[in-house]
Structure 1
Amino acid sequence: MSYPTPLTTKVSNPRLRLLNKLKGGEFPLMTFMAIPSVRMAQIVALTGVDGIIIDCEHGHIGDDAMHNSVAAISSLGVSPVIRIRGPAHDIIKRALDTGAHGIMVPQINNAEEAEQIVASSKFPPQGVRGQGSAFPAIGHGLTTPEYMKTANETIVTMIQIETRAGVENVEAICAVPGVDLVFIGPNDLAQSLLGYVPARGDEPEFVAAIDKVVAAAQKYGKWAGRMVNNGTMAKEARARYDTVAITGDTKAIQNWYISEFDVARS
């Protein structure tokens, strides 16, 4: 059954900054947030970033911080995305009930896993998501009935490709209706393919894997993204990707201090 998704939706909501920029081909910039703080969420949201990925997989983020961060980020006109810790139905439901504008699901290996994620992300008849919270509509600037009518076609479902199996099955994953964006996790992908991190970036197997993921996304009309370490890499990625995430809060803080202390001691 064909139905509108974020890739094809005609819904217009100015609050959905990430979706609007993706649809406009504007190369939105994202970053990861691992520190559980409303103030950190606000500080990062005021940098000019388009989407903040609240990292509930590897970050120090619990349920309270997840809810509070989504509220803080969305109130400042930036799109909150939650990277959940796994594809379980209850985890997806909990994340979406914060009012997140999208979810990112790590280490997806095959189409069956992708289909399960899509089903858990969408209300019937397209999926099996349940409704019972007033909170998600707030993050979209809508009433609950308005949110219910539009959520299926405006919440961006991001699938991470970061394993050998994910690369092998990426065409089948991208063919799944409701998968909106495939996002390359270069460190886990390097560990899976090469046995070490980080990749140099010129290893034939690693380059071939990246090429395969991007080609599959383009073939099936999905958006493609990846993580990069800095603005220079982000600028270079614009030719191939629809969006990137430039490192995260913990690295940004460390890198700034290390650089400035090196200058001070020189």
Structure 2
Amino acid sequence: MSYTTPQTTTIQNSRLRLLNKIKANEFPLLTFMAIPSVRMAQIVALTGLDGIIIDCEHGNIGDDSMHNAVAAISALGVSPVIRIRGPAHDILKRALDTGAHGIMVPQINTAEEAQQIVASAKFPPQGVRGQGSAFPAIGHGLTTPEYMKSANETIITMIQIETRAGVENVDAICAVPGVDLVFIGPNDLAQSLLGYTPARGDEPEFVAAVDNIIAAARKHGKWAGRMVNNGTTAKEARERYDMVAVTGDTKAIQNWYMAEFEIARS
């Protein structure tokens, strides 16, 4: 099925910061949020980044916190993205009903799994998503009818490639219509390929896997992103990726305190 996607949409919505930035090739910067707090969401949203990935896979975030974070982040002009804990239809539907500007789905291994995600993420006729909530439209600054008309081609569907099977099937995964971005989870990918994490980054098998993922994305006209640890690696990633997520709230807090305490004790 061929249809308009976030890559090809002509819809203009100034609230969709991540979509607007990535379409303009402006290399949007994101981070992960694992702590369930409206105040944390607001604090991080005011740092100048373009999107926050609300981590419902590994973070301490339930449904209430997910809804509250999306509202707080979008109200400050930043794009909320939700990393759901798995590809189940009800989980994905629940995440989209917050008003998120994008979804990220971990550990996708086959094209069939990717097709299921796309179907769950889109309203008919492209998918099977149901409508029954006013919250999604609020998160996009639209009326419900306006949201219904625009959601299929403005919500960014991100697929994580972080397993050996995912790498082996990445060409078929990237060929799936409605998959907008493939996102590399380097730690899980290293664990799957090498048996340890984090990767040094120069292991031939790891390098080849990353190259294959990026090549498949480019071949099929999809965006590519990955997680990085700091601003230096984020800047280096600009040459190969369309966006990056720079660490997360828990690591950022720990890293700052550890560095400052080390200075204080020196």
Does the pair score TM above 0.5? yes
Q: CA deviation at 1:219?
A: 0.4
Which sections of structure 1, spanning at least 5 residues, go unmatched? none
Deviations 1:136-158 (A, max 9, x none): 00000000000000000000000
SS in 2 for 1:250: helix
Specify the alignment match of 1:244 in structure 2.
244
Q: Separation in 1 of the partners of 2:139 and 2:45?
A: 14
Which sections of structure 2, spanning at least 5 residues, go unmatched? none
Specify the alignment match of 1:125 in structure 2.
125
Specify the alignment match of 1:5 in structure 2.
5
Q: CA deviation at 1:5?
A: 0.5
SS in 1 for 2:32: strand
Specify the alignment match of 2:202 in structure 1.
202
Specify the alignment match of 1:260 in structure 2.
260
SS in 1 for 2:246: strand
Specify the alignment match of 2:58 in structure 1.
58
The one-letter code matched in structure 1 to 2:179 is V
Deviations 1:47-88 (A, max 9, x none): 001000000000000000000000000000000000000000
The one-letter code matched in structure 2 to 1:214 is I
Instruction: Tell me the TM-score normalized by structure 1.
Output: 1.00
The one-letter code matched in structure 2 to 1:5 is T
Specify the alignment match of 1:40 in structure 2.
40
SS in 2 for 1:160: strand
Specify the alignment match of 1:155 in structure 2.
155
Q: Separation in 2 of the partners of 1:86 and 1:215?
A: 25
Q: Separation in 1 of the partners of 2:214 and 2:2?
A: 24
Specify the alignment match of 1:220 in structure 2.
220
Specify the alignment match of 1:181 in structure 2.
181
Q: Separation in 2 of the partners of 1:82 and 1:194?
A: 28
Deviations 1:202-254 (A, max 9, x none): 10000000000000000000000000000000000000000000000000000
Q: Separation in 2 of the partners of 1:207 and 1:71?
A: 38
Q: CA deviation at 1:14?
A: 0.2
The one-letter code matched in structure 2 to 1:239 is E
The one-letter code matched in structure 2 to 1:153 is E
Instruction: Tell me the TM-score normalized by structure 2.
Output: 1.00
Moved over 3 A (4+): none
The one-letter code matched in structure 2 to 1:43 is I
Specify the alignment match of 1:25 in structure 2.
25
The one-letter code matched in structure 2 to 1:90 is D
SS in 2 for 1:57: coil
Q: Separation in 1 of the partners of 2:110 and 2:251?
A: 31
Specify the alignment match of 2:96 in structure 1.
96
Q: Separation in 2 of the partners of 1:175 and 1:2?
A: 12
Specify the alignment match of 1:143 in structure 2.
143
Q: CA deviation at 1:2?
A: 1.4
SS in 2 for 1:158: strand
SS in 2 for 1:227: strand
The one-letter code matched in structure 2 to 1:60 is N
Specify the alignment match of 1:234 in structure 2.
234
Q: Separation in 2 of the partners of 1:186 and 1:117?
A: 22
Q: Separation in 1 of the partners of 2:172 and 2:149?
A: 29
SS in 2 for 1:263: helix
| Identical amino acids, percent of aligned pairs | 86
SS in 1 for 2:251: helix
Q: Separation in 1 of the partners of 2:226 and 2:167?
A: 14
Q: CA deviation at 1:119?
A: 0.1
